[in-house]
Copies of this chain bind each other. A is one copy, B any other.
Amino acid sequence: MKTFDEALKHLIDQANPHAKSETLAVASALGKILAEDIISSINVPAHDNSMMDGYAIHTDFLTNNISFEVSQRIPAGSNGTPLQANTLARIFTGAPIPNGVNAVIMQEETEQQGERVKITAHSVKPGQNIRVIGEDIAKDSIILHKGHKLRAQDLGLISSIGVAEVLVYQPLTIATFTSGNELLEPGEVLEEGKIYNANRYVLAGAIPSLGFTLIDLGTVADTLDATMQAMQQAAKIADVVITTGGVSVGEEDHIKPAIEQLGELNMWKVKMKPGKPLAYGNIQGTPFIGLPGNPVSAFATFILFARPFLLSMQGQTQVEPQPIWLPADFDWQKANFRREFARGKLCNQNKTTSVALYPNQGSGVLSSTVWAEGLVVIPEDTTIQKGDLVAYYPFNDLTH
């Protein structure tokens, strides 16, 4: 048996970044992984500028006067001229600071007096309300690194240095199929002894959610021939093949013999719950991950194992989620030699946050993953007392 950490490390070590790169307009690059460092060729801001609508001044002028003539007007997007002594410049947010100015006084701290403007501010400090050149981004600095996943604010930052296009990795293509004679598709009439396919639809959500292109090959009959055909087709058209079901020790499973004929297979019993068994290998060179057939286990192993593997192959650098350590709102009496990933959610009371568990942690209970908003780690051979710190992984971090 492998520990969770051994299995994860082994899997990530095998993930060879594999994606081709392409150039995209920044506005189309949301969720993509950078295939280059983004280096700024400019300072942002490019010049000292006003943070406010107001009046530009040199603080020295205030020694003798509080009422001034307005000698120029500098809207955003236009340049002023050096400020005449003992005058003000009307200035707007974002407008460049002209020579001879060392502070901006906000409009609300002034008063119009005929042609003149009176300063009503209690104090005016040098540098006040002025954004300094390069304060946000220094010329020649790397603003985002290769392997970073682009969020909305990243698109804004890239645009702010004038870069219109970025080199990103093309999404990998993931082929999936589910197997099991007991599976019916939603919409079909329920027959005695059968169950509806849930895993196919979990993957149909989870794979595109991570930014990959999904090829859903549907359900494959529980025969060796059908399984081998599906495998070969999937390996040809996709960068990675993922299946659910058919990898347990039972005689009815054909995934194992099919892959053993077509490539290489490692069957792992991972010391985790829910989760085992997990299969990893390749089909004629194309990486293969076989998730368990149980829907809770399939979901858990997808987000905990397949996700970091796929993101590594996609070229993303940060693939392992960070836990949030929070007090448990539960007792966990029964230590297990396997690491448990319980379904939980945050619970706020009196400005404190703790982690609550779904009452039924049975691995057949898919509704626990719907009630939950994350996974709570119960370490190997450990009991938990209410108030102990536990590691919590929000689903939002595991599905994006």
- Chain A residues proximal to chain B, CB less than 8 Å: 26-27, 30-31, 42, 44-47, 51, 53, 75-79, 92-96, 107, 131, 135-137, 143-144, 150-165, 180-188, 190, 192-206, 208-209, 216, 222, 248-252, 293-295, 299, 322-326, 346, 348, 351-353, 360, 362-367, 369-370, 389, 391, 394-397, 399-400
Cα distance, A201 to B294, chains bound together (Å): 42
Residue of B nearest to A30 (CB): B205
**Residues from chain B with Cβ under 8 Å of A46 in the complex:** 190, 192, 195
B346-A152 in contact (CB<8A): no
Give, as a whole number of angstroms, the nearest-CB distance from A64 to chain B: 29
Give, as a whole number of angstroms, the nearest-CB distance from A388 to chain B: 10
B295-A156 in contact (CB<8A): yes
A192-B96 in contact (CB<8A): yes
Cα distance, A44 to B368, chains bound together (Å): 13
Give, as a whole number of angstroms, the nearest-CB distance from A130 to chain B: 10
Give, as a whole number of angstroms, the nearest-CB distance from A199 to chain B: 7
Can you name 29 A-B pairs with beta carbons within 8 Å?
A27-B216, A44-B366, A45-B195, A45-B364, A53-B249, A76-B182, A77-B180, A79-B193, A92-B252, A107-B249, A131-B362, A136-B366, A136-B367, A152-B205, A152-B209, A152-B299, A156-B366, A156-B369, A159-B186, A159-B196, A160-B195, A164-B186, A322-B348, A324-B324, A324-B346, A326-B326, A351-B389, A396-B397, A396-B400
Partner of A293 from B27, B45, B93, B188 at Cβ < 8 Å = B93
Residue of B nearest to A189 (CB): B162
Cα distance, A190 to B96, chains bound together (Å): 14
Partner of A163 from B51, B186, B205, B397 at Cβ < 8 Å = B186
Cα distance, A200 to B160, chains bound together (Å): 10
B94-A159 in contact (CB<8A): no
Residue of B nearest to A369 (CB): B153
Cα distance, A365 to B136, chains bound together (Å): 5
**Residues from chain B with Cβ under 8 Å of A199 in the complex:** 156
Partner of A42 from B190, B352, B399 at Cβ < 8 Å = B190
The 5 residue pairs across chains A and B that have the minimum distance between CB atoms: A152-B205, A164-B187, A77-B182, A53-B250, A156-B202
